[in-house]
Amino acid sequence: MKTKLSSQQIKNYRQDGCLIVRDFLDDREREGLIEAINIAVATMGKQKIAGSNARDFPEKDGFYDKVFLQRLNLWKISPFIHDMFTSGPLGEMLGKLARYDNTDLDENMSGLFDVYPEFTGIEPVIGEMKAGDAGFHNGLTAHAAGANMTPFPRRAMTCAFMPDGSVYNGQQNILSEQYIAGLNIGNPLQDDKQNPLVGAVR
pLDDT at residue 106, rounded to an integer? 55
134-137 and 18-21 beta bridge pairing: antiparallel
Residue 202: what pLDDT? 45
| Amino acid 110: pLDDT | 65
**Cβ atoms of 75 and 53 closer than 8 Å:** no
Which pLDDT score is estimated for 143?
81
Q: What pLDDT, on the 0 to 100 scale, is given for residue 148? A: 83
pLDDT of residue 64: 77
Distance CA 151, CA 148 (A): 8
What does each C-alpha distance from 115 to 104, 119, 144, 145, 201 come to in angstroms? 10, 9, 18, 21, 39
Q: How far is CA 163 from CA 97, 112, 114, 189, in A?
A: 12, 24, 28, 10
Sorted by sequence, the CB contacts under 8 Å of residue 175 that are 6+ apart come out as 55, 194
Q: In this predicted structure, what is the pLDDT of residue 105?
A: 54
pLDDT of residue 29: 97
In the prediction, which pLDDT does 185 show? 95
Residues forming beta bridges with residue 195, ordered by sequence position: none
pTM beyond 0.85: no
Residues of the chain by 3-state class (helix, strand, coil), percent to 5: 35, 5, 60
Instruction: List the chain residues with pLDDT less than 50.
Output: 101-102, 201-202
